[in-house]
Protein backbone atom coordinates (compact mmCIF):
# COMPACT_ATOMS: atom_id res chain seq x y z
CA UNK A 1 0.00 0.00 0.00
CA UNK A 2 2.84 2.36 0.80
CA UNK A 3 4.42 1.91 -2.63
CA UNK A 4 1.08 2.76 -4.31
CA UNK A 5 0.83 5.95 -2.25
CA UNK A 6 4.39 7.00 -3.07
CA UNK A 7 3.80 6.20 -6.76
CA UNK A 8 0.65 8.35 -6.77
CA UNK A 9 2.58 11.21 -5.11
CA UNK A 10 5.35 10.86 -7.70
CA UNK A 11 2.81 10.91 -10.55
CA UNK A 12 1.35 14.18 -9.22
CA UNK A 13 4.79 15.81 -9.31
CA UNK A 14 5.30 15.04 -13.00
CA UNK A 15 4.38 17.90 -15.29
CA UNK A 16 3.77 17.20 -18.97
CA UNK A 17 5.69 19.82 -20.97
CA UNK A 18 7.07 20.57 -24.39
CA UNK A 19 10.78 21.32 -24.66
CA UNK A 20 11.13 23.88 -27.44
CA UNK A 21 14.50 24.45 -29.14
CA UNK A 22 15.28 28.12 -29.69
CA UNK A 23 18.36 29.62 -31.36
CA UNK A 24 20.62 29.52 -28.29
CA UNK A 25 18.70 27.68 -25.60
CA UNK A 26 15.49 25.84 -24.90
CA UNK A 27 12.11 26.77 -23.55
CA UNK A 28 9.82 24.66 -21.35
CA UNK A 29 6.10 25.10 -21.98
CA UNK A 30 3.40 23.36 -19.95
CA UNK A 31 1.45 21.02 -22.21
CA UNK A 32 -1.87 22.67 -21.32
CA UNK A 33 -0.74 25.96 -22.89
CA UNK A 34 0.00 24.35 -26.27
CA UNK A 35 -2.92 24.24 -28.71
CA UNK A 36 -1.02 22.72 -31.64
CA UNK A 37 2.43 22.32 -33.16
CA UNK A 38 2.73 22.73 -36.92
CA UNK A 39 5.49 22.93 -39.51
CA UNK A 40 6.81 26.43 -40.14
CA UNK A 41 4.80 28.37 -42.71
CA UNK A 42 5.39 31.73 -44.36
CA UNK A 43 3.91 34.58 -42.34
CA UNK A 44 2.05 37.72 -43.31
CA UNK A 45 4.28 40.61 -42.26
CA UNK A 46 2.73 43.32 -40.10
CA UNK A 47 3.59 46.98 -40.64
CA UNK A 48 4.78 49.15 -37.76
CA UNK A 49 5.40 46.35 -35.28
CA UNK A 50 8.58 45.55 -33.33
CA UNK A 51 11.01 43.06 -34.89
CA UNK A 52 10.05 40.40 -32.34
CA UNK A 53 6.53 40.30 -33.79
CA UNK A 54 7.33 38.26 -36.88
CA UNK A 55 3.89 38.45 -38.50
CA UNK A 56 0.58 36.65 -38.68
CA UNK A 57 -0.09 33.00 -39.30
CA UNK A 58 -3.32 31.89 -40.95
CA UNK A 59 -4.43 29.04 -38.70
CA UNK A 60 -7.88 27.42 -38.53
CA UNK A 61 -9.61 30.50 -39.90
CA UNK A 62 -7.80 32.86 -37.49
CA UNK A 63 -4.93 35.30 -37.79
CA UNK A 64 -2.44 34.28 -35.09
CA UNK A 65 0.46 36.60 -34.18
CA UNK A 66 3.89 34.93 -34.19
CA UNK A 67 6.63 35.94 -31.75
CA UNK A 68 10.38 35.41 -31.71
CA UNK A 69 10.94 34.67 -28.02
CA UNK A 70 14.67 35.43 -28.36
CA UNK A 71 14.11 38.84 -29.93
CA UNK A 72 11.56 39.78 -27.28
CA UNK A 73 13.91 38.61 -24.51
CA UNK A 74 17.16 40.19 -25.68
CA UNK A 75 17.32 43.61 -27.30
CA UNK A 76 19.34 43.61 -30.51
CA UNK A 77 18.89 39.87 -30.92
CA UNK A 78 18.47 38.68 -34.46
CA UNK A 79 16.11 36.05 -35.76
CA UNK A 80 17.15 33.23 -38.02
CA UNK A 81 16.12 29.66 -38.60
CA UNK A 82 18.70 26.92 -38.74
CA UNK A 83 16.51 25.23 -41.32
CA UNK A 84 13.05 26.24 -42.48
CA UNK A 85 12.33 22.57 -43.21
CA UNK A 86 12.88 21.57 -39.57
CA UNK A 87 11.34 24.66 -37.91
CA UNK A 88 7.97 24.55 -36.17
CA UNK A 89 5.35 26.97 -34.95
CA UNK A 90 4.09 26.31 -31.43
CA UNK A 91 0.58 27.70 -31.15
CA UNK A 92 -0.27 28.68 -27.59
CA UNK A 93 -3.58 29.36 -25.93
CA UNK A 94 -3.92 32.88 -24.58
CA UNK A 95 -3.96 32.73 -20.79
CA UNK A 96 -5.38 36.10 -19.83
CA UNK A 97 -7.95 37.54 -22.20
CA UNK A 98 -9.13 34.92 -24.66
CA UNK A 99 -11.39 37.43 -26.40
CA UNK A 100 -8.52 39.78 -27.29
CA UNK A 101 -5.73 37.24 -27.74
CA UNK A 102 -7.10 33.68 -27.95
CA UNK A 103 -3.94 32.28 -29.57
CA UNK A 104 -0.40 33.27 -30.46
CA UNK A 105 2.61 31.32 -31.67
CA UNK A 106 6.31 30.97 -30.92
CA UNK A 107 8.91 29.80 -33.41
CA UNK A 108 10.88 26.63 -32.62
CA UNK A 109 14.06 25.60 -34.46
CA UNK A 110 13.00 21.95 -34.47
CA UNK A 111 9.82 20.08 -33.55
CA UNK A 112 9.33 20.31 -29.76
CA UNK A 113 9.86 17.23 -27.60
CA UNK A 114 7.12 16.05 -25.26
CA UNK A 115 8.46 15.28 -21.77
CA UNK A 116 7.30 14.50 -18.26
CA UNK A 117 9.33 16.72 -15.93
CA UNK A 118 9.79 16.50 -12.21
CA UNK A 119 11.29 19.30 -10.10
CA UNK A 120 14.43 17.19 -9.58
CA UNK A 121 15.14 17.24 -13.33
CA UNK A 122 15.59 21.03 -13.36
CA UNK A 123 18.72 22.55 -11.84
CA UNK A 124 18.80 26.22 -10.86
CA UNK A 125 21.51 28.19 -12.65
CA UNK A 126 21.61 31.22 -10.41
CA UNK A 127 21.53 33.39 -13.54
CA UNK A 128 19.19 36.35 -13.61
CA UNK A 129 16.06 35.73 -15.62
CA UNK A 130 15.43 37.90 -18.67
CA UNK A 131 12.39 40.12 -18.96
CA UNK A 132 10.38 37.33 -20.64
CA UNK A 133 11.46 34.62 -18.22
CA UNK A 134 10.34 33.46 -14.82
CA UNK A 135 13.60 31.54 -14.44
CA UNK A 136 16.57 30.03 -16.24
CA UNK A 137 17.37 26.43 -15.37
CA UNK A 138 19.44 23.55 -16.65
CA UNK A 139 17.76 20.48 -18.05
CA UNK A 140 20.13 17.69 -19.00
CA UNK A 141 22.97 19.67 -20.63
CA UNK A 142 20.85 22.54 -21.91
CA UNK A 143 20.11 26.02 -20.61
CA UNK A 144 16.32 26.32 -20.55
CA UNK A 145 13.97 29.24 -20.01
CA UNK A 146 10.76 29.01 -18.08
CA UNK A 147 8.83 31.73 -19.87
CA UNK A 148 6.69 34.47 -18.39
CA UNK A 149 3.76 34.00 -20.76
CA UNK A 150 1.83 36.79 -19.03
CA UNK A 151 4.59 39.20 -20.09
CA UNK A 152 4.68 37.86 -23.66
CA UNK A 153 0.91 38.24 -23.95
CA UNK A 154 1.00 41.76 -22.49
CA UNK A 155 3.61 42.77 -25.08
CA UNK A 156 1.46 41.37 -27.89
CA UNK A 157 -1.66 43.13 -26.61
CA UNK A 158 0.25 46.42 -26.39
CA UNK A 159 1.34 46.12 -30.02
CA UNK A 160 -1.75 44.61 -31.63
CA UNK A 161 -4.73 45.82 -29.65
CA UNK A 162 -3.95 49.37 -28.51
Query: Is 36 a member of any domain?
Result: yes
DSSP per position, the chain: -HHHHHHHHHHHH-EEEEEEE-SSSEEEEEGGGEEEEEE----B--TT--TTEEEEEEETTEEEEEE-HHHHHSTT-----S-TTT-EEEEEE-SS-TTT-SEEEEEESSPPEEEEE-GGGEEE--PPP-TTEEEEEEETTEEEEEE-HHHHHHHHHHHHT-
Domain that holds residue 144: 16-160
Query: Is 6 a member of any domain?
Result: no
CATH of the domain at 144: 2.40.50.180
Query: Is 58 a member of any domain?
Result: yes
Query: Is 81 a member of any domain?
Result: yes
pLDDT in tens, 13-61: 899 999 999 888 899 999 999 999 999 999 999 988 998 999 999 999 9
Instruction: Count structural domains, the chain.
Output: 1
Q: What is the pTM of this model?
A: 0.85
Query: Is 42 a member of any domain?
Result: yes
Amino acid sequence: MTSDASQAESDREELPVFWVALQKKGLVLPEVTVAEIIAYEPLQRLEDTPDWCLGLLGWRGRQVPVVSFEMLTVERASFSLVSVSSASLVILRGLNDADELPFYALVAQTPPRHLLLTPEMLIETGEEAGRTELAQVRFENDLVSIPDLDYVEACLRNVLIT
